Structure 1
Amino acid sequence: MPGLRHRDLDLQERVTRVLADELKQLINLPPSSTILVIGLGNEHVTADALGPMVVNKLFVTRHLFEYMPHVLGDGKGYRSIAAVSPGVLGLTGIETSEIVRGIVERVQPDAVIAVDALASRSLSRVNATIQLSDAGIQPGAGVGNNRRALDKETLGIPVIAIGVPTVVEAATIAGDAIELVLNQLREQVPGNAATALFDQLSSVEKWHLVKEVLEPVENNLVVTPKEVDDFMENVAYIVAKGLNVALHPAMTFEDADLVTH
C-alpha cells in the first residue's frame, strides 16, 4: 500500500478494516481468552518505536476485569487484554525473550501478539506494508541482532506477529538501484554483454554481492525515509485500532476511534 506513506484518512480507514478482519481470523480464540500484547522495539529510536507506540494506544482490560468489573458492564464482548513494552537489551540488560517468558508464566495468557518494526529486503515494502504471521518473531533479526525467538516453541502458546518495515539496508538500496540501471540498459541495448553476469544472479545473490562490498568499509548503513515521524504516528494508530476491534468483539470502529488515542 504505497499510499500508506502519506496521510490519507480514507486509505487508513480501509486498511484498518482489512487488518482487523485478518487479525480476527488469526486470533481465533473465544471471548473469554486472555491475550498479552508485546510492543517490541526501542521507544527512543523513532523507526524502532512501533511496538511501544501501539501498546500506548491499546484498550487494555485485564485490570478492569479484576478490580473494576462494573466499568465493562457484564463484560460480554470484551477480552482480558494485557500489554507491555519490554524495551531492548541495550537499555534493560535483559533479553526480551526472558522478560516475555517471565510475564507469560505469571499472567498465563492464551496467546501473545508481538508488534515490531522490521528491516525490509525491498524498498517497495518500506513504510508501505503491514505484515502478519502466526509463526512468531525473532526480535532484532532484521538488523543482525539475532535474539531468541518468540514463538509457540519458546513460550508454549500461539504467537502472532505484526510487523511494519520501517528501515532498509544500504545494500538493499544499492542492489535495487543496480537492478533499475541494468533494466534500462537491457531496454536500450538488448543482449549487452556488460549485464550478462548480473542476469545469471538471483535478486538475493545480487543483494549479498553488494553487501559484501559495503560491509567491510562500514558503509552498509541502515536508513529510514525522512517522513518516518509522521508515518510512525499514522501506522501505530492503524495497527492499534485494528487490534482494538479484533481483540474486543463488542467494539465498533467508532468506539475504537475514541479509545485509540
Structure 2
Amino acid sequence: MEQKNSPFDLHLLTDLAVESRNLTMQRTGQELEGVRLDEEEVEHAKITRIRVMNDRAAQAIGKKPGDYITIETRELQQGERQLHEYLSGVMAKEINTLVNYPGLTKSLEQEPTILVIGLGNWNATPDALGPRVIHHLLVTRHLYDAAPADARQGMRPVCALAPGVLGLTGIETAEILKGVIDKVHPDLVIAIDALAARETHHLASTIQISNTGIYPGSGVGNQRIGITQEDMGVPVIAVGVPTVVNSVTIVNDTIDKLMQDQNIAGTKMQNRLQQINDKQKQQIIQQVLQPYLGDLIMAPRGIDKLIRDVGRVIAGGLNIALHPDINQENVSLYLQ
C-alpha cells in the first residue's frame, strides 16, 4: 500500500484489494462510489473482480486505480496435481483479460518480450514465493531468436529474474529491475510476490492479479520504490499470494470473537466488550503487543510445502498465459 501510519492500524495490514474494500465498507457502512465489484463462482474457486475507477475511490480503499482480480480456493493447499493444473488454467484466463498482447508491440507479426520478476527473499520461506515461481517457469528468450520460425510458433520470448531483497544485495529491487529493463527492453513485466493478508482464511488460498504494479514489502510496513508502469516505463502485472498475517490481526480477531460469542466470553464480559469502540480496541491491541510484538509477522504451519505447491500453480498459470501452445492439459510437461 502507498501510505503507512501506525502498525496497529487495521486498515493498513493487507495487500489484498478485496480486504481493503471490505474494511472500508465496514468503516463507512455504505457501498463505495467509484469501486465496481463483480463476483463469479467457478468449479473449485471464487473469482472476485474489483475495478477502482478514480483517484477518490483509490484514496478511500488505499489501492491505485486499476483492476484487481482475486481467485479464492482452498484447493491451493491440497497436493492434487489435477486440481493445481485446473487452477493454473483459471489463473491464466484471468491474466489474459488484463493483457493485450498484440497491443504491446509495434508490429502484429512480432511477439512481445515478457520479463517475469520473482520478488522476495529466497532464504526466508514465507517470502520465497517469487524465486520459487521463477524456478519452475519456462524461459525462452535466450532460444527464441536462434530458433527457426516454425519452432517459435506457439511460444513467446520470456525471460526471468529473481533479484533478491535489499538486505541481501544492498540495492533496491526497483533499481535492479530498472537497469535490466533498460538493457532487455521487455514489452511487459510480471512481478510475483508474497503478500500479507488481513484475514487468516486467505493465507495460501488466494491469488491476487492486478494491472497496477506492486510496492514490495508494503503489507508488512516496508517502504520501497514501486514496480509500476510509471516507475518502470512498461506495463506491469502483479501476481501475489498472501503467506503471512500480522500479529495485530490475531489479537483483533480474538477480541472480535469474544465480542460475538457469548459461550466463550460469558454475558457480562461480552456486554463490556461490545461497549468498546474502534479507537479503544486499537489502544488495547497496542498495549498487548508493545513494545516488541507489533511488527511480529506469522506464517501458517507447513509453509515450506505450501510455497512449493503454490509456486508450481503460479508458474503453470504464467506458462499457459504467456505461451499459446501450452494449456491446462499439458502444462505439467513444461514446469521446470
After TM superposition, the score normalised by the length of structure 2 is 0.70
Deviation track 1:212-232 (CA, whole Å, cap 9, x = no partner) reads: 235532123111111101111
Contact 2:85–2:331 under 8 Å retained in 1: no
Query: Which residue, 87, 100, 107 being the options, matches 1:28?
Result: 100
Which deviates further from its counterpart, 30-39 or 90-99?
30-39
Distance, in Å, in 1 between the alignment partners of 2:288 and 2:240 is 27
Contact 2:207–2:241 under 8 Å retained in 1: yes
Tell me, what secondary structure is at the counterpart of 1:131?
Answer: strand
- Which residue matches 1:15? 87
One-letter amino acid matched to 2:183: R
Answering whether residue 74 of structure 2 is matched by residue 2 of structure 1, we say yes
Distance, in Å, in 2 between the alignment partners of 1:114 and 1:230 is 22
Contact 1:34–1:109 under 8 Å retained in 2: yes
Distance, in Å, in 2 between the alignment partners of 1:156 and 1:83 is 18
Query: Which residue, 101, 122, 127 being the options, matches 1:48?
Result: 127
Deviation track 1:43-85 (CA, whole Å, cap 9, x = no partner) reads: 111111000010111111111113x314x73412211111000
- 1:255 to 1:9, Cα distance in 2 relative to 1, 3 A: closer
- 1:10 to 1:63, Cα distance in 2 relative to 1, 3 A: closer
Contact 2:213–2:237 under 8 Å retained in 1: yes
One-letter amino acid matched to 1:216: Q
Tell me, what secondary structure is at the counterpart of 2:215?
Answer: coil
Aligned pairs (5 A) from 1:24-173: 24-30=96-102, 32-66=111-145, 68-70=146-148, 73-173=150-250
Answering whether residue 257 of structure 2 is matched by residue 180 of structure 1, we say yes
Distance, in Å, in 2 between the alignment partners of 1:165 and 1:209 is 26
Greater strand share, structure number: 2
One-letter amino acid matched to 1:145: N
- Which residue matches 1:242? 317
Q: Percent identity?
A: 40
Q: Post-superposition shift, 1:125?
A: 0.8
- Which residue matches 2:10? none
Distance, in Å, in 2 between the alignment partners of 1:35 and 1:230 is 28
Tell me, what secondary structure is at the counterpart of 2:194?
Answer: strand
Q: Post-superposition shift, 1:253?
A: 2.7
Distance, in Å, in 2 between the alignment partners of 1:61 and 1:161 is 21
One-letter amino acid matched to 2:272: A
Please list every run of 5 or more consecutive structure 2 residues that lacks an aligned counterpart in the other structure: 1-72, 103-109
Tell me, what secondary structure is at the counterpart of 1:36?
Answer: strand
Distance, in Å, in 2 between the alignment partners of 1:108 and 1:210 is 51
Distance, in Å, in 1 between the alignment partners of 2:319 and 2:284 is 42
Answering whether residue 297 of structure 2 is matched by residue 219 of structure 1, we say no
Contact 1:34–1:111 under 8 Å retained in 2: yes
Please list every run of 5 or more consecutive structure 1 residues that lacks an aligned counterpart in the other structure: none
One-letter amino acid matched to 1:238: V
Q: Post-superposition shift, 1:207?
A: 7.8
- Which residue matches 1:194? 272
Distance, in Å, in 1 between the alignment partners of 2:240 and 2:280 is 25
Tell me, what secondary structure is at the counterpart of 2:186?
Answer: coil
Greater helix share, structure number: 1
After TM superposition, the score normalised by the length of structure 1 is 0.90
- Which residue matches 2:44? none
Deviation track 1:174-214 (CA, whole Å, cap 9, x = no partner) reads: 1112212211039974995313334x43xxx6885465235
One-letter amino acid matched to 1:69: A
Tell me, what secondary structure is at the counterpart of 2:175?
Answer: helix
Query: Which residue, 209, 220, 228 being the options, matches 2:303?
Result: 228
One-letter amino acid matched to 1:183: Q
Tell me, what secondary structure is at the counterpart of 1:118?
Answer: strand
